[in-house]
Structures are given as structure tokens and as C-alpha cells.
Homo-oligomer: A and B are copies of this chain.
Amino acid sequence: MPSLSPSLDELVDALKRLPGLGPRSASRIAEHLLSEDRTRAVKLLASLERAVKTVKHCELCNTLTDEAVCPICADQTRDRTKICVVESPADQRVIEETMAYRGLYYVLMGLVSPVKGIGAEELHLTKLLERVKNDAAVREVLIATPFTPEGDATAHFIAKAMASVAPAVRVTRLARGIPAGVELEYTDANTIAGAIFGRK
């Protein structure tokens, strides 16, 4: 079959490389963007263009932000003795929404993953380690990576590195346990075991 539209093919190709999109969803999105009403395509184009130009990594915490230093790092009312280490800006957002944490952050933009060939060097840990070493205000590093093999490997690596560069800093991790509002009988054995070991 001759290609009806090389431009459409190229767009589908760019879309299907995005995380979570396969060839079918990519072509559905492309057709939607190029159907009669193109306001969504124009809006996406403008916002992507703006974001590529504007969004950068915060010099201090590495999160995605429009400023050189993000609003959280710049906020002098935050508790500067604590740094919470998260995988992504999305994880940072859910922690902020709990209003249970008022310290600072460090955003890894990924996790250690032997399967995907991402070692500790690929994550920007040096910046975090330097900061903890040089900033005497920091008393605690709270590791908030998920309880997955990759999250565990990352947490382990950070804890080890911390112990060598700043042994006085307390390294903690989110509690592992039963989620709120969930019946025990619907909770997996691994989670229940974690909650038993973590009982207090």
C-alpha cells in the first residue's frame, strides 16, 4: 500500500516512541489531532514548544521547573534539615499534596534499573551527595522510592553512598505497610509481611 500521508506516518512514529503508547494508540491520537477540529493539535504544539524552551532542571533539587531554582527550594519557610528523595516530579507532587512533609526534595528523574541498563551513574546522585556533604543544615534524607526491585536497589545504593559521604545524616525510608481503607484480605502477602516486620 502506498503511504497516504508520509506526514501522518511520521507523526505516528514520533508518538509511538512515548512511554505507554503503542502503534494503535499512537495512530488513534494522530488521527484525532489531524481531524477537522485542530484546536487541540495547535494547543499541544504551542504548549510543547513553550515547555521545551522553558522547562529546566532545578539547580538544587533537579525537579522540572520554569525557574533556575524551583519555588520549593526557594521557599525559606521550608524545613531545610530534611531532603526527601523521589523518583519523579509526579511523585514529588503526590507527596506535596499530602501536606505531611515540609522539607526539601531531591528528584532523581529515574531509578537504578539493571534491566534497562540504568546504573547509579545515570542518576544525578553526585549532586545530591555533594549537597548533603557540604550543607551542614541537612540532618535527614528520607528516601521515598517505591517498594519495587528498582526502588529498593536505588534506596540501597543511596543509603550506602550516604553512609560514606555523610555518616552523621540520618537516612530513612517511607514506611512499608497496609494502605488506608483496604481490607486485609485484599492485600498481597508481601505487603502484609512488610507490615508485620514494620509493626510498632
- Tell me the A residues contacting B by CB distance below 8 Å: 1-8, 10-11, 13-15, 17-21, 24-25, 27-36, 38, 40-45, 47-52, 54-55, 58, 63-66, 70-72, 75, 88-90, 92-93, 96-97, 109-110
A29–B44 alpha-carbon span in the complex (Å): 13
Query: A31 and B1: CB pair below 8 A?
Result: no
A10–B49 alpha-carbon span in the complex (Å): 11
Query: B33 and A72: CB pair below 8 A?
Result: no
CB contact under 8 A between A35 and B4, given known A18-B29, A28-B19: no
Residue of B nearest to A99 (CB): B1
**CB-CB < 8 A to A25: which residues of B?**
20
- B5, B17, B89: the one contacting A55 at CB < 8 Å is B5
Query: B90 and A55: CB pair below 8 A?
Result: no
**CB-CB < 8 A to A30: which residues of B?**
51
**CB-CB < 8 A to A11: which residues of B?**
44, 47-48, 50-51
**CB-CB < 8 A to A70: which residues of B?**
4-5
**CB-CB < 8 A to A19: which residues of B?**
28-29, 32
Query: A51 and B10: CB pair below 8 A?
Result: yes
CB contact under 8 A between A52 and B47, given known A28-B90, A65-B4, A88-B31: no
Query: B47 and A41: CB pair below 8 A?
Result: no
**CB-CB < 8 A to A34: which residues of B?**
51-52, 55, 64
- B15, B50, B54: the one contacting A44 at CB < 8 Å is B15
10 A-B interface contacts by CB (under 8 A): A2-B75, A4-B63, A5-B51, A5-B70, A6-B66, A17-B40, A20-B29, A34-B55, A38-B52, A45-B45
9 pairs of A and B residues whose beta carbons are closest in the complex: A1-B96, A7-B54, A2-B71, A11-B51, A14-B44, A7-B51, A14-B47, A10-B47, A11-B47
**CB-CB < 8 A to A4: which residues of B?**
58, 63-66, 70-72, 89, 92
